[in-house]
Structure 1
């Protein structure tokens, strides 16, 4: 299935393309069969009627819909008006929902076309995709291997080209594991960024709606539509202006943590260690990454709390009574996991919370050494038969690098990272602080393009799809304040620490437009220059540095700017406008004009005044 941009181009040139695209999807499903990918479909006639309504919209209104005509699917633990919600358990399916989950409503209001609801591990309890009565989903690359779960059908629907994007859920890795096994993007957003109202809970405090696409660009578009505060969702959150600041995302160098060799685990797989090391080497060599070895032990200890601690009781809270009353309809492994919750007491729960907080503090201190964490998405891939022989143990293996993410309130994106010698896909996951979702998508797109070639299970080239690029001039993607410095705050100069202690990161060195002059301010301590814009002046332009300053550090930084300096707009030679240091014209009466030197460093060199 073409990506969002490509479909929009097709629709713009062919008035019949939208109905043809959707009819082709339904024809293919009729040919291939509903299961195992799908649990329920929107009736074709209802979908075609919706297309007819969309087609009647004026061209200007269509362009305002970012997902106009884009086919998508949702996991069958989400409410869709007119369909039952089974969560892969037929007897659980309630009467048809009267309204759709808010996240589904948002997507449809943006013009997206819902095709149907996809298969899953029952009650979202599993990372394998085999715990379902609707048929086992397999990897699109080899039918002997698992698709991964619990969002199995959603990943396969995208990878096999049935839809452009799909929604899953991700509590312990359910949106990331199937993404790796099917060579697609799996975005696990920050908890609370997307509403979980109308979603059958697994662990209500940890659940996330996940996004599966072929490219990071498409995931970014879907995320922008789907996110937003929901007052009916008690766990919905609104990020502050400074939440998720990621100056590293627009800097030429970033630090990425990797597990030490002692804490890397592949459970006997012989191919994935090599591909993971290749990913590390490419990120270091080609993308400006600086690897930092870390002991993954505290992360793994947090992850163990999810299934080997009291958090499993949350699953019982959601559906425990139902499964005990309908034991014959429940997958035996799902039944075992959820009923185990009764072994935990309230005391166990509080002790688990205390242990998690202890681990969070330890990890917070560790995180100061790096910007993001890079791990394999899954240690290895299992066959369907291998999972059947050890369903709980091998499911646990799959969650080695995923289980801890939501417990630690982190964001993550799984990215395709090459094809193994046996033809199966490999993937890596980028993990960042809460609300760094957009920054992770930006870096994820670069890594995807550096390591992968084709889209999903197709031969269509990734290189033909739109890149996801930062908009540096406004720096919104990094939640940072871009500040131009020309003197004492330059790298290596006396006041540069005021930037670095606020976690600012150097973005680039550049020049102002030609209508700026630079002066040495008399009596300033430490010695400082003054930059001023002069109408109709034509000079060489002044060299400066652009720094990305996290938004929460900007007020205190600006408060330290002494007169006669101030912060104002600076026009750069490339057309960007950024905030930066300027000087009041009244301070220039006795100042030395050094404009001809082109910058502060050249002046310091001429005077042999370098610090």
Structure 2
């Protein structure tokens, strides 16, 4: 399902969209389950879309490319419940980003499972919930859990998630794929069930950085903000990289994760990069504000009334987290906004001398039963390196960094200030070429054609 393989195959006449759609359905039946899909486009509708594409220009950017979306993104005529079946309705509009992809020839396969109301980064707050495609005892990452898994196991070429505090990056790390979270508001976030509307953004999941880069760049065509993006080429041999200082680095007792991160840094240094620790406290302080500060009130504004009216329909941990927002005062909101503005200045000043900030996507990973036994503390640990990303207006891409000794994946993130999106993707592509890590769930998948 590699994007460029499909493009080349279409243009060479080796296969047509109907054959790719049939292969998608075969893969879903063999490699996927109901746990990853809230809704699948019926076979006859998917085939009709495939047949229609044969009347269109084969050079459309996404001609016949299969993709899926997280189930908090609206697609007209399709059900949407944001991970909570009791909240289901039929969408009357389509997200502008989804519409762009459809207009450019993409084939929508379905909508993916997510943590209820996009609350948390663990991926087990839905019923049924997906599991790691690499080891089913482990979490898939969330809240875009299904969107990460179906890319990892090769059922679709790419998928769209949502990212508030890490939901476009933690699933990528847990599923051994790429998750790119753009600068907030570069891509339209209209047409979503929001977690935090002021900072929510739509990330791209793909097996490789070069595919994620292609998807993002095509979505940016005609975008007036595109002129703001820095696209300066860099090579690893002249990079100046920031990393969290020793006080800021946390692996929560996971020595294998720490060894993987040290190995990533060693590889970068061997390529000529210069690495310097920076004060990580502005980042960690900002991250703590997402759930422990006044910003939780924005989640309550989005879905709080539904939760109050339907307490038995919502995951207990999700409900507890969101309902805290009802008690937030206006004074607390403006106080936190003022503090966050200070932290933005501090964080961007710290990043200014560097090409990027390199950090673990997650400092550890957990089994599903561990998270269910201690949901709040372990979710907080998983989000330590991600919660601040949108609050501080960063561009971040998570890529496979290493495979651990125990066979589980370790993801590493390249982060930069707002509008450094192309630069972060370029760095991710360079890392991909030198890391030696094969993406996905390590199966030897056959190619269409």
Please confirm whether the aligned pair reaches a TM-score higher than 0.5, indicating the same fold.
yes
2:109 alignment partner, SS class: strand
In the other structure, the counterpart of 1:50 is: 49
For residues 423-456 of structure 1, the C-alpha deviation after alignment (integer angstroms, 9 at most, x for no partner) is: 0000100001111111111110111222233221
- Give the one of 127, 131, 138 matched to 2:131: 138
2:203 alignment partner, SS class: strand
1:144 alignment partner, SS class: coil
In the other structure, the counterpart of 2:381 is: 397
Structure 1 residue 280, shift from structure 2 partner: 0.8
- Give the one of 68, 76, 79 matched to 1:81: 76
For residues 2-44 of structure 1, the C-alpha deviation after alignment (integer angstroms, 9 at most, x for no partner) is: 3111012222344544312211222343456651010001111
Contact 1:66 1:221 in 2 (8 A): no
In the other structure, the counterpart of 1:318 is: 302
Whether 2:76 is the aligned partner of 1:91: answer no
What CA distance in whole angstroms lies between the structure 2 residues aligned with 1:364 and 1:115?
39
What CA distance in whole angstroms lies between the structure 2 residues aligned with 1:447 and 1:250?
10
In the other structure, the counterpart of 2:263 is: 278
What CA distance in whole angstroms lies between the structure 2 residues aligned with 1:309 and 1:324?
21
Higher relative contact order (CA 8 A, sep 6+): 2
- Give the one of 346, 370, 378 matched to 1:386: 370
Superposed CA RMSD in Å reads 1.9
2:405 alignment partner, SS class: coil
For residues 315-356 of structure 1, the C-alpha deviation after alignment (integer angstroms, 9 at most, x for no partner) is: 001111011101100000000000011231110111101111
What CA distance in whole angstroms lies between the structure 2 residues aligned with 1:205 and 1:238?
20
What CA distance in whole angstroms lies between the structure 2 residues aligned with 1:9 and 1:223?
20
In the other structure, the counterpart of 1:435 is: 419
What CA distance in whole angstroms lies between the structure 2 residues aligned with 1:251 and 1:420?
23
1:360 alignment partner, SS class: helix
- Give the one of 96, 100, 106 matched to 2:100: 106
Unpaired runs of at least 5, structure 2: none
In the other structure, the counterpart of 1:225 is: 218
What CA distance in whole angstroms lies between the structure 2 residues aligned with 1:395 and 1:294?
25
What CA distance in whole angstroms lies between the structure 2 residues aligned with 1:347 and 1:361?
22
- Give the one of 212, 236, 239 matched to 2:225: 239
> Which structure has greater helix proportion?
2
Contact 1:195 1:227 in 2 (8 A): no
- Give the one of 199, 208, 213 matched to 2:192: 199
Whether 2:371 is the aligned partner of 1:366: answer no
- TM-score (normalised: structure 1): 0.70
Whether 2:204 is the aligned partner of 1:211: answer yes
For residues 363-415 of structure 1, the C-alpha deviation after alignment (integer angstroms, 9 at most, x for no partner) is: 23322332210000001010000001110110000110001111111100001
1:116 alignment partner, SS class: strand
What CA distance in whole angstroms lies between the structure 2 residues aligned with 1:254 and 1:8?
33
In the other structure, the counterpart of 2:118 is: 124
In the other structure, the counterpart of 1:295 is: 279
Structure 1 segment 184-583 matched on structure 2, within 5 A: 184-227=177-220, 238-239=224-225, 241=227, 243-245=228-230, 247=232, 249=234, 253-286=238-271, 288-459=272-443
Structure 1 residue 240, shift from structure 2 partner: 6.9
In the other structure, the counterpart of 1:62 is: 58
Aligned length: 446
Structure 1 residue 362, shift from structure 2 partner: 2.0
- TM-score (normalised: structure 2): 0.95
2:305 alignment partner, SS class: helix
Runs of 4+ with >6 A deviation: none
Contact 2:16 2:54 in 1 (8 A): no
